Structure 1
Amino acid sequence: MEIDIKKFYFQDSLYSKTEISDDDLESLFRTVYFSGKIDSYCPYCKKETVFQGEPIRAKKKNPDLNSYNSEIFSFEDFTNEYDFDFLRNKDFRLSFKCLREEYSHRIYFYVRVEPDSIFKIGQNPSLAELTDSFVTRKYKKLLSNDKISEFNKAIGLHAHGVGIGSFVYLRRIFEGLIFETFDKVQENLGISKEKFRSARMSDKITFLKDYLPEYLIENKEIYGILSKGIHELDENFCKEVFPVIQDGLEFILEEKLIQLEKENRKKSNSQLIQKIKQDLNNGK
């Protein structure tokens, strides 16, 4: 199994375990000693940036006296010196430096490897802090302050290992998108508010199919998963699938953002055209 390094460090909550076996030694090595680059949001720069991993590397047992470096860089060199037992039951620290401000902007992760799993035991800034600014900045044109707060609460709860509670807030955001759309287009639908509110969510989406993002219509099961998670599923399942549902909601929001930006550009362009027409009529 190949560990998704960005998901593991930047999306998974603390103590959310990824199962491993002896066959995963290379993937495990590349995770705890990761030195590659990852695109993500820097809460210090408040911009999308590139982070580079800075691991604390394993040392060679018998370094070459003529070598200036006793650290292990490649998986091949690691397996020449150690086996899986070297990584088991150990804690690791990995930092990521922001390449915009590589000497000051760093994110730190603390990882535990057990015989059959790997998971984060700490990080600074927290997952909630990493995503709070990101959500606020990205969706402030689309979501009310209350909905942004709910989105951040969902992410914060997930970051602290809460599954069902985080689902509650994601479901509220989904519902908010539906009712907000209905309020805007009710006159076009010819449906009373009472009839709409009493309908099942699948029927609500059908009523609004000409006004909702395509991704939402294609994946309306998101709401069913959220509702089932709140009423029937256990904490571990909700924690495990939270990043998938979060991504689904973000795809929906991003589609709405594209439409909003398109409408704003059309409006601005129309105003400019009317100004040009007016100037021409005035003999300019």
Structure 2
Amino acid sequence: MSEYEVDESNLNENSNEFKKADHSEFVFDFPLYSKIKYINDFSGADILKLQNEHIEGFCNICKRTRIFYCISVKSGMQTLMRQHPNGIVYHQEVGGNISFVRYECSADKDHVIDVIMKLDVAYWQKIGQYPTLADISKAELRKYRSVLTSEYQSELNKAIGLASHGANIGAFVYLRRVFEGLIELRAIEQNMAEMKEFKEARIGEKIDLLKEHLPKIMVDNKKIYGMLSAGVHDYTEDKCGGYLK
């Protein structure tokens, strides 16, 4: 499988986010306009090597993780008819550094993901994708709908949408609100919201008090709240993005 390296200029130099990214991450994790540097002598000229490669990620139609095969890699070069101000009609080739890549779900060939890439001498850049990362992530998170109100489902969707466009600090704000909101909802349901012990407790302590009534992922990862708070107040966009991946 081909490998890529995250562009260092997009990362906080003090973070540990610099890492190799495989083909699956490029499609399913990286937001639009991420620049991915070539490594291992892989270059823009080798775009056709993606043909028949397979990646693994969530299919928003099957609603489960699937294998996807790269079935098509096409150059965006096309000839357009132009008209000069003096009236002369001429043809111009455009889009030679743009490629269109299609991935097909192994379970159903009608389930596809299309990615548009801009190729440069040193990197690839994802400039388009359908279904979007937000579409894929929202489908993957449907399992949490039963524990969230419509208000917090909406805020979770906003976090996903922001993250898919690289607005990672904004995504952290909404994720923290959802995290806090679910705790308050469960406290109200269990008649604990007005208890002095609960009101004076820190977030981690509140989770312990409600551990029988919260999703296991929150109970097992209660330190996530501290990370979300640090993201809102201290982290850069890129450091928040590293955690969101």
Considering the TM-score relative to the shorter chain, is it more than 0.5?
yes
Quote the residue 1:229 is aligned against: 231
Letter aligned with residue 234 of structure 1: T
Asked whether the equivalents of residues 187 and 210 of structure 2 are also in contact (C-alpha less than 8 Å), the reply is yes
Partners of 2:49 and 2:239 lie apart in 1 by: 25
Quote the residue 2:80 is aligned against: none
Quote the residue 2:218 is aligned against: 216
Partners of 2:35 and 2:74 lie apart in 1 by: 23
Letter aligned with residue 207 of structure 2: I
Quote the residue 1:242 is aligned against: 244
Of 195, 198, 208 in structure 2, the residue corresponding to residue 196 of structure 1 is 198
Of 149, 154, 158 in structure 2, the residue corresponding to residue 149 of structure 1 is 154
Normalising by structure 2, we get a TM-score of 0.68
Asked whether the equivalents of residues 39 and 50 of structure 1 are also in contact (C-alpha less than 8 Å), the reply is yes
Quote the residue 1:4 is aligned against: 22
Residue ranges of structure 1 left out of the alignment (5+ in a row)? 59-88, 244-284
Quote the residue 1:52 is aligned against: 69
- Percentage of pairs with the same residue: 33
How many residues were matched structurally? 206
Partners of 2:210 and 2:233 lie apart in 1 by: 26
Asked whether the equivalents of residues 66 and 107 of structure 2 are also in contact (C-alpha less than 8 Å), the reply is yes
Quote the residue 2:87 is aligned against: none
Report SS of the residue matched to 2:21. Answer: coil
Of 84, 93, 101 in structure 2, the residue corresponding to residue 94 of structure 1 is 101
Partners of 1:35 and 1:216 lie apart in 2 by: 39
1:100-132: CA deviation from partner (whole Å, max 9, x where unpaired): 442x43221012344554331111222222333
Normalising by structure 1, we get a TM-score of 0.60
Asked whether the equivalents of residues 3 and 31 of structure 1 are also in contact (C-alpha less than 8 Å), the reply is no
Asked whether the equivalents of residues 53 and 97 of structure 1 are also in contact (C-alpha less than 8 Å), the reply is yes
Which deviates more from structure 2 when the two are superposed, residues 176-185 or residues 119-128? 176-185
Asked whether the equivalents of residues 15 and 120 of structure 1 are also in contact (C-alpha less than 8 Å), the reply is yes
Of 3, 9, 13 in structure 1, the residue corresponding to residue 31 of structure 2 is 13
Give yes or no for the alignment of 1:35 onto 2:52.
yes
Quote the residue 1:118 is aligned against: 124
Of 182, 190, 202 in structure 1, the residue corresponding to residue 187 of structure 2 is 182
Residue ranges of structure 2 left out of the alignment (5+ in a row)? 6-19, 76-95
Give yes or no for the alignment of 1:168 onto 2:170.
no
Partners of 1:43 and 1:207 lie apart in 2 by: 35
Asked whether the equivalents of residues 108 and 124 of structure 1 are also in contact (C-alpha less than 8 Å), the reply is yes
Partners of 2:49 and 2:185 lie apart in 1 by: 44
Letter aligned with residue 145 of structure 2: K
Measured on the aligned residues, the alpha-carbon RMSD in Å equals: 3.3
Post-superposition offset of 1:180? 2.6
Quote the residue 1:130 is aligned against: 136
Letter aligned with residue 225 of structure 1: M
In structure 2, do the counterparts of structure 1 residues 205 and 30 end up closer, same or farther at CA, with 3 Å as the change threshold? Answer: farther
Asked whether the equivalents of residues 135 and 151 of structure 1 are also in contact (C-alpha less than 8 Å), the reply is no
Partners of 1:37 and 1:29 lie apart in 2 by: 16
Greater helix share, structure number: 1
Greater strand share, structure number: 2
Letter aligned with residue 106 of structure 1: V
Letter aligned with residue 236 of structure 2: D
